[in-house]
Amino acid sequence: MEGQAYQSNPVLDKLPAHLKQFIKPQHYEDYSPIDQAVWRYVMCKNVDYLSKVAHGSYLEGLRKTGISIERIPDMYGMNRILKEIGWAAVAVDGFIPPSAFMEFQAYNVLVIASDIRQLKHIEYTPAPDIIHEGAGHAPIIANPEYAEYLRRFGEIGSKAISSAHDYEMYEAIRHLSIIKEAPNTTEKEIEEAEKRVDMLQRDMGEPSEMALIRNLHWWTVEYGLIGDLDKPQIYGAGLLSSIGESAWCMTEEVTKIPYTLAAAYQDFDITKPQPQLYVTPDFAHLSSVLEEFANTMAVRKGGLQGVHKLIGSRALGTVELSTGLQISGVFTEVLEDEGKPVYIQTRGKTALSYREKELVGHGTASHADGYGSPVGKLKGINLAIEDMSPRDLKAYDIYEGERVTLLFEGGIEVSGNIITGTRNLQGKIILVSFENCAVRQGERLLFRPEWGVYDMAVGKEVVSAFAGPADTSSFDLISHVPSEKTQPKEKSKAVKNLENLYKKVREIREGKSEADKLYDIFEQLKKSHSEDWLLPVELCELAVGRNDESLLLNIKAHLHQIKSNQPQVERLIDDGLSLIELQASITEDNR
């Protein structure tokens, strides 16, 4: 990473290097006056509407996190406030891999896609943007119960095992989100990208742990409702940041379902409004369902199924044995007997750890070409090696300098000269090193003496299997290169001219320029940008504030023409005008 891309703080200082690679500068100066107007319109409309239907934590959270209606938040300014509740925010480039997103949450870090939707997508965009993240996610984390749910979700979610299909899906969604916000994308390109997402969604096969927990994330963190089933409130960020769907979701057209573990098996379509939503009675219930789901995961269940999940992922993962020894690598094979794993095998770089810390001498340099070890008890002996006392070990010749042949259940045979053993903090032996060692199952040779020292893991069972390494420092994880980057918006001379008009209006509203320029701005707008609807709405607001009836009537006539030519923006215009009238009446009442 070139230099420091962000201003750090005590929360961000705790982030491991492999997460810091995703952070990018916010580049606040790149937000155009139109971007600022889009933010202001959405926030004005949201705060007015959501004050009636959102969970009480929303408005309180806006105040606590320092998020302003008037301008896009500078997230590093937000950080000065977020640290008071133990959180931080960082900017990233659109969608990042789900496992990384979850892990950021586990470190109490809110990931914010710092780009902002285009005016033509003001109601909703599948792309993560600062409206969705800043105005949706940030306010709710001011609620302590919800913040703990989010952190715990990240902690558990980052251990969820993915399938190879999941990454393909992630890339397809990222591509769609990028091209949909790119200014020069054709409708055909968007349609093809949506078809690709739809095709992958219909062909997901058996859902992975990551796919299931992403469903839970979607139906709670993104699209969750809370309270009574008949009259719920909104807390999901996708709803809080969508001025269209936040209203639609409250109608009877959207089915409301009590939130249970069944939500994990309900898929979603990111390109369409959701036909059903789940209602949790309170935030504590979210954590209860999360723990229920975690009990089904390999990180807690381990066993043969857990190893098979890791093999299916084709990605870096970890198996933990009953002694606490952790084997991290890409798992390729498991030999089994009577429903239990009896030998596990990785390929390529592998590391051995204990309690998330790499064992000295057992990093990827020592196990560069893969690693294999028996799992389970010795045949005909009820006492597992890990439970043997020093006297027991000596009795079975598991002792330094001895030549021994160990026959495990499942027919795995280890034969060699013992060099030494490694013990855990409880004194249990977790690793036995051999020289001149052969490992076989029947006629199949699994390890040859000429391959060097053989380090045999000790553990009667696999107690856990999870995504990623036990010790993140064991592997070079700073290697993420997105296949596609968010495209910068190239601006024509006309767009730059329109941005300048928006800038002048903002300066008038902020008292930095004279209001008599409004007439000139309006004339330029009609002449050169007759299709733009948002700036005329802002001009109406200023005309109302000045009691300039003549200007107001002219602008409204112009907006009426825009509605005739562009019926798709009629409701947006009417909503904007309604807010202006509401604010004017409140101001009048306060006089």
Candidates 405, 413, 409, 417; CA nearest to 443 is 413
The answer on 470 and 504 residing in a single domain is no
Residues 44 and 148 in one domain: yes
Angle between helices 549-565 and 518-528 (to 10 degrees): 20
What token pair was written down for 266? 């309900």
Among the listed residues 234, 262, 263, the one whose alpha carbon sits nearest the alpha carbon of residue 247:
234
Q: Which of 419, 446, 474 is the last residue of a domain?
A: 474
> How do beta strands 412-423 and 88-92 pair?
unpaired
Verify that 249 and 287 share a domain, yes or no: yes
Indicate left, alpha or beta for 25 from its phi (over 0: left) and psi (-120 to 50: alpha): beta
Q: Answer yes or no: is 57 within a domain.
A: yes
Residue 204 has what pLDDT? 62
Residues 462, 358 share a domain: yes
Q: Are 104 and 208 in the same domain?
A: yes
Please check whether residue 297 lies inside any domain of the structure. no
User: From the centroid of its chain, how far is CA 206?
Assistant: 21
Q: Which DSSP string do the residues of 452-506 spell out, in sequence order?
A: --EEEE--SSEEEEEES-SSGGGS-------SS-PPP----HHHHHHHHHHHHHH
Residue 217 corresponds to which amino acid?
H
Tell me the C-alpha distance between 532 and 510, whole Å.
Answer: 22
Q: What is the pLDDT of residue 127?
A: 67
In a domain, residue 482? The reply is no
Q: Are residues 111 and 57 in the same domain?
A: yes
Instruction: Determine, yes or no, domain membership for 306.
Output: no
Provide φ and ψ at 561, rounded to 5°.
-65, -40
Give me the pLDDT at residue 184, please. Answer: 73
What's the pLDDT tens digit per position in 248-290?
899 999 999 999 999 999 988 777 788 999 999 999 999 999 9
pLDDT at 131: 85
Q: Domain holding 26: CATH number?
A: 1.10.800.10
**254: helix, strand or coil:** coil
Show the low-confidence residues of the chain (pLDDT under 70).
Answer: 1-6, 125-127, 181-183, 201-205, 480-489, 584-591
Helices 33-53 and 570-590, interaxial angle, to 10°? Answer: 70
Single out the residue in 292, 327, 349 at which a domain terminates.
Answer: 292
CB 9 within 8 A of CB 79: yes
In whole angstroms, what is the distance from residue 52 CA to residue 534 CA? 24
Helix (H, G, I), strand (E, B) or coil at 278: strand
* 273 and 350 co-located in one domain: no
27 torsion bin: left (phi>0), alpha (psi -120 to 50), beta (else)? left
DSSP 3-state of 226: strand
> How do beta strands 454-457 and 429-441 pair?
antiparallel
Give the count of beta carbons closer than 10 Å to the beta carbon of residue 186: 9
Query: Please, which residues have CB within 8 angstroms of residue 92's CB and are 6 or more apart in sequence?
Result: 22, 23, 24, 111, 112, 113, 114
Q: How far is CA 321 from CA 209, 307, 333, 349, 425, in A?
A: 20, 11, 16, 19, 15
Domain that holds residue 365: 315-474
Q: Is position 307 within any domain?
A: no
Same domain, 144 and 260: yes
**What radius of gyration do the chain's Cα atoms show?**
29
Tokens (6 digits) for 180: 């949909």
The token pair at 273 is 């409004």
- Does residue 445 lie within any of the structural domains? yes
Tell me the one-letter amino acid at 149. Answer: Y
Residues in the chain: 591
**CA 454 – CA 8 distance, rounded (Å):** 44
Q: What's the DSSP call for residue 66?
A: T
Domain boundary residue, one of 416, 440, 474 = 474
Question: Which residues on neighbouring strands pair with residue 457, listed in sequence order?
Answer: 431
CB atoms near residue 339 (< 10 Å):
8
- Between strands 357-358 and 340-354, the pairing is antiparallel
Same domain, 241 and 355: no
Strands annotated E in 211-324: 225-227, 232-234, 255-258, 276-280, 316-321
* In a shared domain, residues 117 and 173: yes
In a domain, 18, yes or no: yes
One domain, residues 68 and 126: yes
- 458 and 378 Cβ atoms separated by less than 8 Å: no
**Number of domains making up the chain:** 3
Residues 578 and 441 in one domain: no
Q: Is 279 a domain residue? A: yes
Provide the token pair at 392. 């027991």
Parallel/antiparallel/unpaired status of strands 429-441 and 225-227: unpaired
Calculated CA dihedral for residues 561, 565, 571, 573, nearest 10 degrees: -40
